[in-house]
Structure 1
Amino acid sequence: MSYQRPLSGGSIPRETGADSRLARTYSSSPPTPRIQSLIDEVTAHGYVVIRNAFSPASVAAAKAEVARLSADPETAGPAGAKGRNTFEGFRTQRLYALAGKSRVFDEFALHEDVLALNDWFMDPGYLINSFQSINILPGEKAQTMHYDHGVWLMGIAWMAWGERRVHGVMIALDDYTATNGATVIVPDSHLWDSRRVPKPEEAIPVIMPAGSILYFVSLLWHGGGANRSDKSRLALTAQYCQPWIRPMENLILAVDWEKLDEMPPRLVDMLGYKVGNPFLGFVDGKSPRWAVARLLKKYRGEKKEEKEKAKL
């Protein structure tokens, strides 16, 4: 597939067929040849691997930060030691809301290739749906195969829009191997209808070195692999969703408001602080950042008053 003309505003894509379901609905300059090749891979197979996207230094910093946060139960959160169900994984450690925990992780949600793909496939103003670390420990069983847009429980009529609802990345902080819990995928399964379920033999592990990115669309069947090795497999995952649906993680509350000024503006926008489309997400006719500033001013004033009273 080469550069396509956008669909007209009123067009409804068919339920099947890559060209109809993945065509962009907003006009844009043609992508560079390199980005076009990534677009073609995603369109044809539902995923693409971007190898060595992050430097060894960035990977090492992220691994150290995950270890630091995991050592503190308060920052680790409810699944930091182990998952609470078979989907999270009883031998899998997860840190949620990474955008609120450390600036070390910012670059992993903002890789230029990922944003270029999102800008092509998704509507302007798309949001971060979820941003977490996933550490699969030795002995973990394979995760149930799934596709990510199923969390919204929409019916078959919405399958045609599934690819445009959520796109995700898995970022390897450890090498992905055939035995250490690498993400498994079913290539081309984003083209299936809603009634087909993959057979175990149709899934393949994604083998890629640390620092690489697996980019995939929400209708691609996938899951965490079984870890049959003697070492853990650490990765970060970021999901991005359309501006017109509710994100899985409520990052406006999960991320400390006082940290927003420290964060890259693009990341802040994707947490839900930018009014989009142009009316989605406004607060009393103004931006969410305005509302937060007002609440922080009130909070700080109350804290100051409490301190002054304490001195009396």
Structure 2
Amino acid sequence: MTTTTSTPARGGQRSVLAEHQWRPLEERHHERADALLAGHLDRRRRGVAHPVEDFLFTYYSHKPAHLRRWHPGPGVVLLGDGARDRLDGRWYREAPGGGVELDVAAFRAARATPLRFVTSLLRAIDRRPANFGCFGLHEWAMVYRLPPEQVRHSAVPLRLGPEGTDRVVEEHRIRCSHFDAFRFFTPEARPLNQLHPTRDSQVELDQPGCLHATMDYYKWAYKLAPAVPGDLVLDCFELARDVRELDMRASPYDLSAHGYTPVAIETPEGKAEYVTAQRSFAERGAALRARLLQICETLNTAPDRD
């Protein structure tokens, strides 16, 4: 059972965990992470790439070994000899009264810029209504009028062929609001987008219905590690993995050889299927975004030193 001290810290009481309490939490985190990493690590050993399941390890910079590390987050004191190993790394300190805890003041001082950006971005997304009218056309715009040898996943065929793919782009309104999707549009597709997002306009444009903005909760979680608890990082990873699957099923690629059925967004039925899944991901994302914002608020409002 978790105990607490009476010493206020980070806007509230510290949770104090004896070693026999926090070790099982760490072990469960390792087991969960190992299950999520197994396929990727096996393919990496064999030199085999997967266009869907390996994306999170190539697009994002978080290494599998880092994903496996468990952190309790701010406001948690770990007791026992095993906790002292964390003092060899960054961002941990000896807690007043004994034990080891996250050094919130040092973390905030060193990570002030990303903390400020992530906080402002998540707050802005939280206030903004969701848009469910993009139908995943960003992936189609990334191959628009490209020679076959320049297509990113050139080993995977286009479901409608080059001409059919281009026709889908030309027959739809494209309104991609996420810079990290838009920056991969082909030169011919960029003028077709109704928005022209930039890195500087990300806080103004990212919205809760966007698949890529939702996937990025994983990025913001690990960017603020070890201040973000390990279970929340894994929750964000799982959501990003599931979103990526929809992203590619709704893309112009034919992934049937990998066991994925297409979401044919060029049809009314496919659009409806896409929006239904998109709404579900937005709901899951809202819950994770709230947890991330709570961490940000804790970090932003903590006293400089206890």
TM-score (norm 1): 0.23
TM-score (norm 2): 0.24
Higher strand share: 1
Structure of greater Rg? 2
